Amino acid sequence: MTALRNDLLLRALLRRPVPRTPVWIMRQAGRYLPEYRATRAGAGDFMSLCRNPELACEVTMQPLRRYALDAAILFSDILTVPDAMGLGLHFVGGEGPKFERPVQNADAVRALRVPDVEKTLGYVFDAVRTIRRELDGAVPLIGFAGSPFTCGTYMVEGGSSRGFPTIRGLASEAPEVLDELMDKVAETTIEYLNAQIEAGAQAVQIFDTWGAALEPGDFRRFSLASMQRIVDGLTREKDGRRIPVVLFTKGAGELLSDLAETGCDALGVDWTTDLGTAREYVRDKVALQGNLDPATLRESADAVRAGVAETLASYGDGPGHVFNLGHGITPDVDPDRVTVLVDAVHELSPQYHES
């Protein structure tokens, strides 16, 4: 494939020197962009958009046409893995994702199959190949998956949930059943991410949205251990390049120190932990990604610029920082505020890197 012209993201994730801090944005392809809304409307529904490689490529490329970002991220959804495991994913207006066949007991977990990802998720890998071709070496492509515990919350609860009572009940009353579920989802996720890498993903991120909702001991047993298994099973080099692995546990706080021991290359940090504090937790063993509060993008242009400056200063000097939000961009954001953010990172970050 075409040589990569901008590899700032890959260098920063591996804590190598860069002239400025690279920037990309979680959910950068999304509802805040009018062109995304138009494409999604034409597709009919969200999963039809995800399952069409050409349309998935189109929405992946849309933010790159507007902004000088340093990475593309595959347009897909974390629930493609449980969907491939046969749970009957569908989306209900105003309620979000639902599963027709939730997995709530030992028999259901035992019956759960580890799918052939090439057959069940081939549309994702087709999208990766299509996006790589369209990028033509401009910036790297990030692939991703949900963590087993985060996917598991939807699989067990049957959809979005407040407090996750059913999966918490499994953790306390039948922990070995939840262990088995985590193992099966982890095995599927390893195959899924490796197939993304084989198709052309140049870095991968695991989104652990709900892991930190567990008590620390349960987090280590059910969320951290399953992510560790994935990290251990991933392809880490392809075409002579390291494939960086990023773990993002929302609300991790002090648990960042545990996550840094997994062998991953970088950790996402949400906005509730200062990046300077996060650096102390991880002792510069891994790169850090983040962590401007997404709500800042709803404020004035001056406030966005000030937020960028504060975030850069909180990380400080040296390699190993990828600028991002502390979570995904929200649909109500003015796209022009993202221009302010990206321009500010370009202008203000070189001072933190050796010339």
Kindly list the catalytic residues. Answer: 27, 31, 40, 77, 154
User: Do residues 26 and 328 touch, judged by C-beta distance below 8 A?
Assistant: yes
Query: What DSSP string runs through 73-99?
Result: E----TTHHHHHTTS-EEEETTTEEEE
Q: How many CA atoms lie within 13 A of 30 on its CB side?
A: 17
Which tokens is 119 given? 């057959």
Determine the 3-state secondary structure of 325 from DSSP.
strand
Return d(Cα 37, Cα 31) in angstroms, integer. 6
Query: What DSSP string runs through 265-280?
Result: SEEE--TTS-HHHHHH
- Strand-pairing partners, residue 321, are 288
In sequence order, the 6+-apart residues with CB closer than 8 A to the CB of 50 are 56, 75, 76, 77, 80, 123, 124
Query: What DSSP string runs through 134-185?
Result: HHTTSS-EEEEEE-HHHHHHHHHHSB--SS-HHHHHHHHH-HHHHHHHHHHH
